[in-house]
Structure 1
């Protein structure tokens, strides 16, 4: 959800368990090796089947270098096994990422990470899985009560770490229905807004993702009760998740989940098609 990872709990933080330090150190190593090899971030991305933005985020320590990436990058950058040597530590760190969220959110984070299908409706903010680093930082910086800088950066890193789910293969099935108002609200300012719209345009073109916009002009709506997520964990039935004003619910009762599923299906029928939604996003980008 857009506001997940919001509250602190007694669990270990990313800083105290060393995970954030590991990712930052690996990021610096990747940058040094890339520059030594005379490659740009785009060059390394093409050679390792990653986007330029992902390479940039890994070098800054805000995205986790996956073991598979480290293996490919070690060869591309002629690192002599330096990056491959970190793969076991990274696998352990990735498992810790799932348990460092607040206790009330861990159940959802665990289900989300293992899901084979994920469908989300959002009417308050861009979903956390789709947020850019700058947008996520704006969300956490402006919330009340105010958070200290260290907490803001931890929560931004935790949020971006959840986005590793897009890099899984076989990939889960994703769909998102976003209220048009979310695309109009310049949260964080014009530059952040532009970057977020570009991110939506990129994600909306992924083969595994269907992104739809619900137009403001629609005169009927099946779900005025707030945002929700539908998830299908591997080998299990569909579940629903809601989070409103800090009250989180992971719903597994089949009859209750069915109601959310029906609402979501109606909304997808009322929303713009994925192609129409991308056209609208591109139009907004051209007007800014």
Structure 2
């Protein structure tokens, strides 16, 4: 083993095997196509540098078996792997630039599908009665909510889901194009202490900050309202650039995009009613400040 390489004997072998188990690809067809392109480029760069897999592995600090697994598409290269490869192979940032594509491919398909819809939307409307909407969650809140999943995720799956949810949030502040967002949160989501008191304090403070954005309307539907058109559960409504609209519903084990015009119309009517039943954006921010003061 050359300098910087990782030992494949005894305890070192076990540690490396454990790390490799977290790199399992297990990708769907679309993500698999992206990864095949990435690993093909990695192999071409390595061969152009005249390095064997063993020599390359020693240079970047990983074992030959892991390098082989990456080039066969059995393992997903981590960001630090790509950065090390870029430096050793003198790629001038071309290999490191693939980190975004690799990260995207690692996200669950339902997350990638939702990101595509959000990217094509000019307005996103969402009603939530169980948790704070994912685009508005702090990292601590994300981690606490994902941790409640049963059966629990593996450590790698956990980090993958956290990263995927946080990666979607930059859509709120992207300026090209500037999308409109309307969120209606049931009061219960403001009071449910996910992650504990301090996590919820920071989450409520974050909501107040988000509510100040020019393209965001944040409303609260109080629990003392006699009428609530959202009792059937949380949902999203996305208005797309071509003038059409789609819905999205996520419940136990099911993530469904709704495209049937009749069903979308029902969601549209229902969401309009929910907005009318909720406090105005100005009243809602005052309400959130009140709840924050109680904590």
Same fold (TM over 0.5): yes
Q: Secondary structure at the residue paired with 1:218?
A: coil
Q: Secondary structure at the residue paired with 1:220?
A: coil
Counterpart CA distance in 1 for 2:137 and 2:82 is: 23
The CA deviation at 1:93 is: 4.3
Q: Tell me the equivalent position of 2:51.
A: none
Q: Of 197, 210, 215, which residue of structure 2 is paired with 1:190? A: 197
Equivalent residues of 2:247, 2:267 under 8 A apart: yes
Q: Tell me the equivalent position of 1:168.
A: 174
Q: Tell me the equivalent position of 2:270.
A: 263
Q: Secondary structure at the residue paired with 2:213?
A: coil
Q: 1:9 to 1:275 in 2, by over 3 A?
A: farther
Structure-2-length-normalised TM-score: 0.67
Q: Secondary structure at the residue paired with 1:217?
A: coil
Q: Tell me the equivalent position of 1:108.
A: 114
Q: Of 250, 256, 265, which residue of structure 2 is paired with 1:249? A: 256
Q: Tell me the equivalent position of 1:275.
A: 282
Counterpart CA distance in 2 for 1:192 and 1:86 is: 38
Asked if 1:18 is matched to 2:100, the reply is no
The CA deviation at 1:216 is: 0.2
Q: 1:266 to 1:186 in 2, by over 3 A?
A: same
The CA deviation at 1:168 is: 1.2
The CA deviation string for residues 103-157 of structure 1, in whole angstroms up to 9 with x for no partner, is: 3443222111332211100011111111100000001112110123332222111
The CA deviation at 1:228 is: 0.5
Q: Tell me the equivalent position of 2:146.
A: 140
The CA deviation at 1:94 is: 4.2
Q: Of 145, 149, 166, which residue of structure 1 is paired with 2:155? A: 149
Q: Tell me the equivalent position of 1:120.
A: 126
The CA deviation string for residues 219-258 of structure 1, in whole angstroms up to 9 with x for no partner, is: 1122321110011233351100001102111111212101
Counterpart CA distance in 2 for 1:197 and 1:21 is: 38
Q: Secondary structure at the residue paired with 2:217?
A: strand
Counterpart CA distance in 1 for 2:260 and 2:103 is: 28
Moved more, 249-258 or 228-237: 228-237
The CA deviation at 1:179 is: 0.3
Q: Of 281, 285, 288, which residue of structure 1 is paired with 2:292? A: 285
Q: Secondary structure at the residue paired with 2:219?
A: strand
The CA deviation at 1:287 is: 2.0
Q: CA RMSD in A?
A: 2.7
Structure 2: gaps of 5 or more residues: 1-24, 36-74, 84-91
Pairing 1:20-39 to 2, within 5 Å after superposition: none
Counterpart CA distance in 1 for 2:94 and 2:216 is: 28
How many residues align structurally? Answer: 219
Counterpart CA distance in 1 for 2:109 and 2:270 is: 29
Structure-1-length-normalised TM-score: 0.69
Structure with more relative contact order (C-alpha pairs < 8 Å, separation 6 or more): 1
The CA deviation string for residues 185-227 of structure 1, in whole angstroms up to 9 with x for no partner, is: 1110111111110111110111100000000011112232111
Structure 1: gaps of 5 or more residues: 1-7, 24-84
Counterpart CA distance in 1 for 2:283 and 2:109 is: 39
